Structure 1
């Protein structure tokens, strides 16, 4: 990855390799890989900006939190992380990471669930779910957990929430040479391809369902997640619409005490988060079509509609940020076949700068190899994905100072996992 503060380096076009460029691909706390998630950024990216612009005790908010990468990095760094997302799966993952219980409590609860287990009826299990899991052990245990935590959004302990979130990460995936830590037949990847695709994949490859114990597999997953110490601070997670995040009843938001907003808004072409997580969402008791409908920006996903949407988010950032507070938006370039890619971050700023009192600090250009983009799973049909993400950096009031030189490699180097 190579990054440029384009506005700050306009004269000499000097390229700067930021700290996250030097970190190993899987750098980060052991809680990060709890579950795969579409359109996620590496943890080193938000951590770089957190270290550059904030101090211990400051509050960092992500209104599109996804699997909770930015707010988790905030908590690990001794800040207070707040995550907001309208996707129930994202909310579950973020809330579990930001209020993780002790390992001892989680392991004890897993054994309690094992002892309390009573085989449930499988009569309501959809055919597309039945084709994935062993019917004697694995599927009944999954249905038992599904029934046990059916009211998880309203009534669940931190311990049970962490167990349920950990289960999301092993619902399905691809086997490796040493076997599987997943519960399903060997899947093409960790995202849910369509039921028809999966059915043909099973038939073509002659796959058989592995007979695995759900409680054993959750225990193994949890032990991996707790490889590192728990985050230094706890955070907050909300199942809410990002368009209204400034109205959330949180003391830091109400008191306009947010030092940084760090987020990756949905791209111009919105990913169907429900469709690509239909297996996990079945266990959570969620309506997949409703989720995809709720997460769309507008009916046409037009450029004008996207700019208006971003203007709303930026205006809310202005509302909640402290003086010298910073808002960072990770926005990928978009392209149509045969046309020059649109530098969407720059375009958004040019269109919204008259509609906000926030100021431009700079735009970071982040070159990401296409093999590392999540959209690689669609191969040639990946559409508008490009190799470049840009990070639009705005600030409120007094211009903040950088704590480290732009050319410093030490921002993240002091942290090891």
Structure 2
């Protein structure tokens, strides 16, 4: 390495370490790209998890491929100031949005799947357990018209009637534009409790709640476990989950921040490559995790949640990009980065959480860096957070160091 290159490398490392705690051990490495004239620093260390506060209970909404709340908090707290705008173009369950709100930032949340807003917005105005309970008492436990239980592989008939009654109630409320914050909260919790692998869900034992199996798949699960759906009291389950979500104390300043963020929040259901609703040079920080090639089928996972909310999962699925080839994925992400460059303020950052896929054969930072640079961004570095192994990390093909740790990989960029 030339002396000037080494000086630039050390300078970049110093810039990167300013957002880390000096007493935590780390490992330096570098990423060298053929068409970029200086090495890009890579730092591996524990950045959050054990060293940060426990995530707020309001985050505990199941969604496929979501990252820990500590990840966006790490970057939001270090790279933005109060009232600046934080953006997530692939918002999912709304982790970035909620953390931005807690920290007194404005946010823009975008996801091609309308479920994202349904799962995120109600948590900005948490109701009391008493108000939830009182509202549930006003909702019928049977639909207005008798219906055949076409989901009897998932639900007992009486449970299915209660689910249909809830669905009918929410769809009518939405149609009449009278869905308030308490209704939205109950709908969000019910959506989250539709299926799962514990007694705390409406369904018989099935896949984890972030993956709804097909009707055929559930029939096979029932045969395997010799099980039949038993009655589940949806009212009790909604109350129990609400208590869990509200179990962390919300400090007064956090409640004020949540309400302020709610009033200024922008929720979009757009292709992340084309978001004209977002003003140019308005976003201080983007924190996101994009769809990874064809690994996760978001529409298939959410078909039951979509049905409950009157959404067409097939139509939504047509608009979700899950490219099967690296070349197509890069083309899609390049267009996303061009849009992120347009909306970012000068000096603003992008924290792009990527992963190892195809059993570690593809490290996504090697794909992301060239297209981000071509869009105009300056690489700050790659942060690798080592954390305790998680049950779903095998989805990404991470080897996890013999099953002991799992690594978040974040490409950090700056608009110069």
Question: Which residue of structure 1 lines up, in the alignment, with residue 193 of structure 2?
Answer: 170
Does 1:143 pair with 2:164? yes
Query: Which of 221, 230, 251 in structure 1 is aligned with 2:241?
Result: 221
Question: Which residue of structure 1 lines up, in the alignment, with residue 147 of structure 2?
Answer: 123
Does 1:84 pair with 2:104? no
Distance 1:62 1:275, change over 3 A: same
CA distance in 2, matches of 1:14, 1:64: 25
> How far has the Cα of 1:212 moved from its partner?
2.3
CA distance in 1, matches of 2:332, 2:154: 39
> How far has the Cα of 1:333 moved from its partner?
2.0
Gaps of 5+ in 1: 377-381, 398-417
CA distance in 2, matches of 1:75, 1:93: 15
> In the alignment, is the contact (CA less than 8 A) between 2:47 and 2:385 conserved in 1?
no
Query: Which of 301, 305, 319 in structure 2 is aligned with 1:280?
Result: 305
CA distance in 2, matches of 1:349, 1:165: 37
Query: Which of 22, 32, 40 in structure 1 is aligned with 2:59?
Result: 32
Distance 1:257 1:32, change over 3 A: same
CA distance in 2, matches of 1:6, 1:161: 47
After TM superposition, the score normalised by the length of structure 1 is: 0.79
Once the two structures are superposed, the pairs formed by residues 288-303 of structure 1 within 5 Å of their partners are 288-298=313-323, 301-303=324-326
Question: Which residue of structure 2 lines up, in the alignment, with residue 401 of structure 1?
Answer: none
Does 1:264 pair with 2:289? yes
CA distances 1:13-66 after superposition (whole Å, capped 9, x unpaired) = 774321335458xx31111112x1111111111111111111222221101000
> How far has the Cα of 1:241 moved from its partner?
2.0
> How far has the Cα of 1:69 moved from its partner?
0.7
Distance 1:89 1:350, change over 3 A: same
RMSD (Å) for aligned C-alpha atoms: 3.0
| Greater RCO, CA 8 A, separation 6+ | 1
Distance 1:226 1:50, change over 3 A: same
Does 1:374 pair with 2:392? yes
> How far has the Cα of 1:96 moved from its partner?
2.3
Task: Report the secondary structure of 2:350's partner residue.
Answer: strand
> In the alignment, is the contact (CA less than 8 A) between 1:333 and 1:389 conserved in 2?
no
Does 1:392 pair with 2:411? yes
CA distances 1:337-387 after superposition (whole Å, capped 9, x unpaired) = xxx622222322124413x22211111123456x515254xxxxx575565
Question: Which residue of structure 2 lines up, in the alignment, with residue 406 of structure 1?
Answer: none
Question: Which residue of structure 2 lines up, in the alignment, with residue 364 of structure 1?
Answer: 383
CA distance in 2, matches of 1:11, 1:317: 21
CA distance in 2, matches of 1:363, 1:259: 19
CA distance in 2, matches of 1:311, 1:257: 20
CA distance in 1, matches of 2:413, 2:105: 20
Query: Which of 326, 334, 340 in structure 1 is aligned with 2:349?
Result: 326
Does 1:197 pair with 2:224? no
Does 1:211 pair with 2:235? no
Query: Which of 177, 183, 192 in structure 2 is aligned with 1:160?
Result: 183
> How far has the Cα of 1:267 moved from its partner?
0.6
After TM superposition, the score normalised by the length of structure 2 is: 0.79
> How far has the Cα of 1:97 moved from its partner?
2.5
Once the two structures are superposed, the pairs formed by residues 303-314 of structure 1 within 5 Å of their partners are 303-314=326-337
